[in-house]
Amino acid sequence: MTKSTSATIRVLACVSVYLLSAPFFVIHADSANSFVIRNARVFDGSRLLGQSDVWVSNGNIKAVGKNLKVPADVKVVDAYGDTLLPGLIDAHTHAWGDALKRAEIFGVTTELDMFTDVSYMQQTKKDQAEGRHLDQADLRSAGTLATAPGGHGTEYGITIPTLSTPAEAQDWVDARVAEGSDYIKIVLDDGSAYGLHRPTLNKETLTAVIEAAHKDGKMAVVHIGTLADAHVAIGAGADAVVHLFSDKKPDPDFAKFVAAHHAFVVPTLDVLESVSGIASGDSLTTDTHLAPYLTAEDISNLKKSFPNQTGLSEKYAEQTVVQLKAVHVPILAGTDAPNPGTAHGSSIHRELELLVRAGLTPQEALASATSVPAKSFHLDDRGAIEPGKRADLLLVKGDPTQDILATRDIISVWKLGVEDDRATYRAAIQKAREQAATAAQAPAPSGSDVSLISDFEDGSPSAKFGTGWMLSTDSIAGGKSTGDMKIVDGGARGGKHALDISGVIDGGLPYAWAGVMFSPGSQPFGVLNLSAKKNISFFAKGDGQTYRVLVFTTSGGRIPAQQTFVAGSEWKKTSIPFSAFNGSDGHDVMAILFVGGPAAGKFDFQIDDVKVE
Ligand SMILES: [Zn+2]
């Protein structure tokens, strides 16, 4: 018991250290945030002004016009042939870690977060209020979301206050306002669109939360999963739905219904594309303007999609966008980063591309990421290039009002008039890539030339290299699953011993797990280059249930890749290529886990002769 607890704590600590090791810079405001941009093609957030000058003074826009007279000592940025836009606003993200830094690199100067850790929100907003982090996108946040016990939003390892009756609504909303939420985010999604069954708020509770938010002077925006949910949310008085649906074509009057309720919409086409099984962000990873600024984790995430669910299509959402445009419902660009297929910052450029593909003009798409979200969320100080607004600006080569892909060819990003140091960021990414390439070619360190990890013949859960086996359960993510491991008699191929893994999976988390973990490096989540090996192989037997092998790699980020196997009554060898784990070449393996779950219930299986070969 003690052993499993300490192992769990160590694992959690290592994950945290890893998350903090990403590139990070601090910039403070100084007198450099006064300058004049000359002869840019200016899109002011709503319309094209034509060739103009924009004078920035002390972080704000002082004047916009042709041939502006400025004092001789004001620095000049020559932008002839380039296009100046307001800094982009991503109207649907989930921010934590270095998300806001990565967002600003790609021209996103404001993120509207739709659910994050409350302490992160509070610390970030405090820092912003003190004028820090000008190299990071400004944050507005819902803080915690409103969801039913066990509903969507409870699966991410953050313990959140849930509610299930209208009577709880006002207290719940008041508590969010006290925490500092800028608006109230509500989940209406029973998972049915994705083949899941999970609790969600009933209509009465949803309505009560919306009314409570309005009573407190806050907007109420709703995550929906289906067309039917969208109708319910808008009908209940929501200010917006922050996804469109991909389960059905819109009915002919859907947009009129939204317009009649004066609601706005954040379609999140990119994540709906990923939900329908297409890695929406894949094309960004080979874009020559974006790729040099993408971290390994960004690239891994952009190449992912959700498992394909039959019947879902992002095209339904595109059809809905056309309908909404026809009746002038405000449409806001939002990415839902960092969900599979998306990444902070870079994905806004994909979302703009998809909005144009759906039928917005390039100028309408640019407005959807600037003036429209500013107006919809009452951010009166931004989203436009006008005197008095913040100098949150994006300068790009070419003309995105004609070709939306030109937003990717970024020259400069400014927040409050301070230019983002993109060159240093790019150099850090390049260095990290070179180090990864070197590591991939380096000979495997001593010990790893032994292909056998464990045969358990010494009667202990030890390993020939790396760490021994330790318990790992979803308790680190707020779950209640339990696990146990012990050496038992009778191994595979006539061996003396095997490792028995048993426990009870609690159904509280969709990705619930309990089992054992091995790290090839010298400590938990320590990396070892196993690229000389092609496969993970092992013998297993058990109670006939399906089990999972999870592999963590540094390039894969926080979410492990997984493969399944069935543990039947006889010992059976399974061999899985590293490439089956999200295309890994094995050079940066941090951990290998054998686990039960996510289906709830008791489990019991044994492993033996675990090898990399
Ligand atoms: Zn979201």
Q: In terms of Cα–Cα distance, which of 569, 599, 595 is closest to 502? A: 595
- Distance between Cα 187 and ligand 1 center (Å): 10
pLDDT band at residue 258 under the 50/70/90 scheme: very high
**Nearest-angstrom CA–CA distance, 561 and 580:** 8
pLDDT band of residue 561 (cuts 50, 70, 90) is confident
Quick one: pLDDT band at residue 66, thresholds 50, 70, 90?
Answer: very high
Distance 547 CA to ligand 1 centre (A): 29
Output the CA 250–ligand 1 centroid distance in Å: 21
| pLDDT at residue 509, as a whole number | 67
Res 12 pLDDT > 50: no
- Gap from CA of 293 to ligand 1 centroid (Å): 24
CA of 130 to the centre of ligand 1 (A): 28
Distance from the alpha carbon of residue 334 to the mean position of ligand 1, in angstroms? 9
Measure 336 CA to ligand 1 centroid, in angstroms.
5
d(CA 103, CA 95): 10
pLDDT in the model for residue 206:
98
Q: How far is ligand 1, taken at its centre, from the CA of residue 36, in Å?
A: 38
For residue 540, report the phi and psi dihedrals to the nearest 5 degrees. -145, 150
How far CA 242 is from CA of 140, 160, 270, in Å, comes to 15, 20, 13
Q: How far is the first Cα of the chain from the last one, in angstroms, to the nearest whole number?
A: 33
Give the model's confidence band at 15: pLDDT under 50 very low, under 70 low, under 90 confident, else very high: very low
Average pLDDT for residues 590-609, to the nearest whole number?
91
> How does residue 165 score in pLDDT terms, banded at 50, 70 and 90?
very high
Distance 243 CA to ligand 1 centre (A): 8
What's the mean pLDDT when you consider all of the chain? 89
Cα 339 to middle of ligand 1, angstroms = 8
pLDDT band at 3 (very low <50, low <70, confident <90, very high): very low
Distance of CA 302 to the CA centre of its chain: 10
Ligand 1 centroid to residue 94 C-alpha, Å: 6
Q: Are strands 220-224 and 240-241 parallel, antiparallel or unpaired?
A: parallel
Distance 222 CA to ligand 1 centre (A): 10
Mean pLDDT of 475-499: 88
CA of residue 337 to ligand 1 center, whole Å: 7
Distance 161 CA to ligand 1 centre (A): 18
Compute the distance from residue 195 Cα to the ligand 1 centre, in Å.
18
Q: How far is the CA of 116 from the centre of ligand 1 (A)?
A: 10
Phi, psi of 378 (to 5 degrees): 55, 40
The pLDDT of residue 534 is 83
Residue 53 C-alpha to ligand 1 middle, in angstroms? 38
**Whether 148 contacts 190, CB under 8 Å:** no
Question: Ligand 1 centre and the CA of 193: distance in Å?
Answer: 16
Q: Give pLDDT, residue 21.
A: 32
| pLDDT tens profile 137-147 | 999 999 999 99
Ligand 1 centre to CA of 523 (Å) is 34
CA of 4 to the centre of ligand 1 (A): 33
List the single range of 154-158, 202-206, 514-518, 562-566 with lowest mean pLDDT: 154-158
Distance 92 CA to ligand 1 centre (A): 6
Q: What is the pLDDT of residues 505-517, one digit of tens each?
A: 986 666 788 999 9
Q: Which residue has the higher pLDDT, 231 or 29?
A: 231
Average pLDDT for residues 355-371, to the nearest whole number? 98
Whole-number Å distance between alpha carbons of 492 and 571 = 6
Most confident of the following: 366-380, 533-547, 567-581: 366-380
525, pLDDT greater than 50: yes
- Distance from Cα 505 to the centre of ligand 1, integer Å: 27
Distance 115 CA to ligand 1 centre (A): 7
Q: How far is the CA of 489 from the centre of ligand 1 (A)?
A: 48
Distance between Cα 305 and ligand 1 center (Å): 15
Question: Which whole number is the average pLDDT over 224-228?
Answer: 96
Query: What is the tens place of the pLDDT at every residue in 432-461?
Result: 999 888 877 766 555 556 688 899 988 888
Q: How far is the CA of 91 from the centre of ligand 1 (A)?
A: 10
For 77-123, the pLDDT digits (tens) are 999 999 999 999 999 999 999 999 999 999 999 999 999 999 999 99
Higher pLDDT pick, 522 / 87: 87
In order, the DSSP letters of 226-253 are SHHHHHHHHHTT-SEESS--SSSPPPTT
User: Burial of 119 by CB count in 10 Å (0-12 exposed, 13-18 middle, 19+ buried)?
Assistant: exposed
